Structure 1
Amino acid sequence: MSPRALSPLPAVLATTLLLAACKPTAPATKAPATEATPPATAAVTATPDATAADDNLNAVLWVQRSAEYRALTTQTYRAAADHLDAALNAAHWDALVPDERGNASTGLKPAVIMDIDETVLDNSPYQARLVQQGKEYDEVTWDAWVAEKKAKPLPGVVDFAKAATAKGVTVLYVSNRAVHLNEATLANLRSVGLPVASDDVFLGLGTVVDGCEQHGSEKNCRRRLAGQKYRVLMQFGDQLGDFVQVVSNTPGDRNALLDEYGDWFGERWWMLPNPTYGSWEPALFNNDRAQPRQARRAAKRDALDVAP
């Protein structure tokens, strides 16, 4: 998750999903951005009603205030660190799917691929502003937030990244933050203690990869680029598209991908919780972000599984 910034999660759906909990170019985020890129929906300009329900209120509060969220991110990075030596010592260990590994990985320098938004950096203050102002994600406010360079690291990520670096593993940031946000993003990463080996470890949305055509905010071309130079030991993200290309963003096809690669999670792939936005959401309303907010909400309510 750059933000692959997706539309805010409805309160009813958020309440249901939080128990399972687990851009934002366009929070898919932390942005559809698959890292999902934030949808380019227009901001709501009406004066917010302090008593009106907001779809994303519970989700943002859970990220910011719950001990459970901190526990989940910490245990994820701690468990990943425990697998580093096994990954390093297994010569054929590779976290890229075969279709994205265009060359032999043996003999290449080791690396891990990390999404940024809601995987490495916490953008919940930006989401909180949207809740308070009754707005939705838009590129102008998102770029302004990134320029502030105030995002904090997720619990556990700095310790993991430093442990990986100490073992000679390069941290690559494959993000749906646009390439023009490069400077502010790298400054933010450095300011919170995350390793940045060089400016080219940031592969943002818009990175040109020779011989590979990128579709929307999909990251497959940039993962291929990373694989040309590195043996990818692990991938980290908050969206399914942070790990593998989502060709058809429907609930059925997304679940089919999980069935195919489910065994990779907890060893090669590590998913971080993000109830505030994601590419799963537009999959529920036919990926039509141009619909009015109420229409999108109605489609999501219809998707609820209500016991008879």
Structure 2
Amino acid sequence: MSVRLPAALAALILLAGCSSTPSKAPAPAMPAPTPAAPAAPKTSADDNLNAVAWSQTAIEHDLIYLQTYRDAQARLLAAKADANWDALPKGDRVAPAKGLQPAVVLDIDETVLDNSPYQARLVKSGGEYNEADWAAWCKEQRARALPGVVAFTQFAAKHGIAVIYISNRAKDLDQDTLANLRKEGLPVSGPEAFLGLGTFVEDCDQVGTEKGCRRQLISHKYRVLMQFGDQIGDFVTVLANNAEGRQKAMAPYMDWIGTRWFTLPNPTYGAWDPALFNNDWTAPRDERRRQKIQSLRFD
């Protein structure tokens, strides 16, 4: 015979049985995945994008060139009339200037002709300057005249002032360079108007790309009224390409800026660039970039 238990007692027995049954432990939570480290940004064309974009698209760029050449033109005839006026640094004036034909001396690249398309190609490809590609660009003869320079040089030529171009384009690029200048309406008196890298100057040893020997050559034939360039080496020899050396080279001639010497902007390349990494082009690009960042001021 079965024994019937009171309902309350049956409930207690049932609860006791449930409590003795082991419960299944919950599965351990899976650790959250570690987020992937962001990829290191790729250094592209030495961060030259903004510089090239500014050179090609900013109206401020064009205005600087216009005001420079217009200001120079307004002063040119007064300089010609002053027999004692000469724009060559003392070390390059190796022959008396008195009685010589007046001249203006201009660098070519980023002073007279705009090579920003070549720089844009480097930005797009991620490459760096090399002589073969640069020579190929020069042979295209497609560089455009920069704002104001055609009017200024034509004005000079009209008033009997020789226009001389001293460039660090290689001498064997002379014909292509002269053709490019002529296409853009710049006055070219003849082959002697272009003194490229490698021009032989008797009794003068050219160091690297310095232009001192070529300025000395000009001093035998011309009284230089004005010089134009986008690098200080276009005006004077720089003995040490570092901040101190560059300042020292310019110190004696600061009063000539805007009267005899006219400097133009070039944020894309130039001697200022290697001066930031001890002129060591053998250093990897990332190392050069690191040293450039170290040169910045943050306060």
The one-letter amino acid of 1:246's match is V
- Partners of 2:248 and 2:89 lie apart in 1 by 15
- Is structure 2 residue 254 aligned with structure 1 residue 262? yes
Higher relative contact order (CA 8 A, sep 6+): 1
Match for residue 158 of structure 2? Answer: 166
**Alpha-carbon deviation of 1:221?**
0.1
Q: What are the residue-to-residue correspondences of 1:61-210 with 2, within 5 Å?
A: 61-210=53-202
Match for residue 47 of structure 2? Answer: 55
The one-letter amino acid of 2:162's match is T
Mark the CA change 1:214 to 1:54 in structure 2 (over 3 Å): closer, same or farther.
Answer: closer
**Alpha-carbon deviation of 1:181?**
0.3
- Partners of 2:233 and 2:45 lie apart in 1 by 30
- Partners of 1:271 and 1:93 lie apart in 2 by 19
The one-letter amino acid of 1:139's match is E
**RMSD (Å) for aligned C-alpha atoms:** 1.4
- Partners of 1:109 and 1:288 lie apart in 2 by 41
- Partners of 2:43 and 2:248 lie apart in 1 by 40
- Is structure 2 residue 189 aligned with structure 1 residue 215? no
Q: Matched residue of 2:208: which SS?
A: coil
TM-score (norm 1): 0.82
Q: Matched residue of 1:189: which SS?
A: helix
The one-letter amino acid of 1:82's match is A
**Structure with greater Cα Rg:** 2
Deviations 1:235-264 (A, max 9, x none): 000000000000111111111222221111
TM-score (norm 2): 0.85
Q: Percent identical across equivalent pairs?
A: 55
The one-letter amino acid of 1:87's match is A
**Alpha-carbon deviation of 1:50?**
9.8
- Partners of 2:270 and 2:241 lie apart in 1 by 11
Match for residue 45 of structure 1? Answer: none
Deviations 1:173-231 (A, max 9, x none): 00000001001000000000000001111000000000000000000000000110000
Q: Which runs of 4+ in 1 moved over 3 A?
A: 49-54
Q: Matched residue of 2:62: which SS?
A: helix
**Alpha-carbon deviation of 1:86?**
1.2
Match for residue 228 of structure 2? Answer: 236
- Partners of 2:202 and 2:155 lie apart in 1 by 33
Q: Structure 1: give runs of 5+ residues left out of the alignment.
A: 1-48
- Partners of 1:303 and 1:189 lie apart in 2 by 37
- Partners of 2:284 and 2:74 lie apart in 1 by 46
- Partners of 2:155 and 2:231 lie apart in 1 by 24
> When the two structures are aligned, how many residues end up with a matched partner?
259
Match for residue 33 of structure 1? Answer: none
Q: Matched residue of 1:63: which SS?
A: helix
Contact 2:105–2:228 (Cα < 8 Å) also in 1 = yes
- Partners of 2:45 and 2:132 lie apart in 1 by 24
- Partners of 2:258 and 2:89 lie apart in 1 by 15
Match for residue 20 of structure 2? Answer: none
Q: Matched residue of 1:255: which SS?
A: helix
